[in-house]
Amino acid sequence: MNIKVLLVEDSQIALVLLKRILNSSPEIDVVGEAHTGLEALQLIPKVQPDVICTDLHMPHMNGLELTTEVMTLYPRPILVISVSVQTDDSRNIFQLLDAGAVDIFPKPTLGLLADDEVFRNELINKIKILSGVKVFRKRRKLPTQNLLVENLAAFSSQSFTRPKVVVIGASTGGPQALKELLSKLPLDFPLPVICIQHIYVGFLQGLLDWLAVGCRLPIQIAQPGDLPKPGRIYFAPEQQHLELDARGRFIYSDSPPVAGHRPSVTMTFTSVAKFYGQACVGILLTGMGRDGAEGMQAIAQAGGFTIAQDEASSIVFGMPKAAVELGAAQQVLPIHAIAPRLLSLLQNNFLDF
């Protein structure tokens, strides 16, 4: 059965381009078009879409208002399709994730993206992924499960080294998960936090601005040559791998994508594990695919501690699942319990959680 998609877009050019791309897939049917959020709300019960693609700016009812209404009346996956911007507007785009949207994708433009085969395939794959994800009407706290996987038995509190760095990887659903996790870190958090989020070009600064609103710690893009400093949150740049050199300083790499991704979670995890060894904590959050699984294994093999987000709180349980299946995740926790677990580790409470 084909995936039914409703397009909500007030630009006729963008609408035509989106239809052309999606209709090129035999597995996707565009079952409706709307130019305003109000039109979309009237169409949803009639066409019963599996996925809704919406712009942010529309007359009468914008994308944020539409997303809020959809999550209340007809909850289903929403993909925000918008131009990437470097203004306050970018923060508004990420507010749709707060309202319940699942992910963000750049809007196709004439001559630049619409005829790009990579862009086409990425959008089609994104729709396929979203058609199978869970939708949370509200971010809910799930019961904390103290799930210690079997390979943790090989470790003990006596062999545990107090962490000196935290490294986090995420993909689909990552912005929401990162907001939940990072907002719980206290002002005196004593470690550097290094994050790798798969994100499309032009949206990274907007993500950081959005995260900064609810975070006590300063957030920035990691700069080449800088040493990770305690109490700061660093993000990998767009379109480049982030690693540490022999002195522990940030370096960028233009080497080929790993498993289709640049920056790659696995590359950063492996590099951090090599430098910090036992003093590293690796966290793998929601995301499609398996990027980060081998990197998390490198952290575990170096003697560090590893945490995977659980399936119940993940929008897509792909990357964390791959780490668990590889035997690389020493603990599996719901997203709301990961920050408290970090604070527990800093008190040398290795198993008492």
Question: pLDDT, tens digit, for every residue of 80-99?
Answer: 998 765 455 667 788 899 99
Element (H, E) at 4: strand 3-8
Catalytic residues: 171, 198, 291
Whether the CB-CB separation of 168 and 195 falls below 8 Å is answered with yes
Tell me what percent of the residues of the chain surpass a pLDDT of 70.
Answer: 88
The CB-side HSE value for 339 (13 A sphere, CA atoms) comes to 15
Domains annotated for the chain, with CATH where assigned, are: 3-130 (3.40.50.2300), 147-346 (3.40.50.180)
Strand boundaries in 16-83, DSSP class E: 28-34, 51-54, 78-82
| Spatial separation of the C-alpha atoms in residues 329 and 109, rounded to whole Å | 41
**pLDDT grade, residue 108 (50/70/90)?**
confident
* 104-to-56, 139, 146, 249 alpha-carbon distances in Å: 11, 18, 32, 31
| Cα angle 267, 270, 272; round to 5 | 105
pLDDT at 319 exceeding the cut of 60: yes
What is the pTM (predicted TM-score) of this model?
Answer: 0.91
DSSP 277: G
Residue with tokens 């400093």: 229
Whether the CB-CB separation of 252 and 264 falls below 8 Å is answered with no
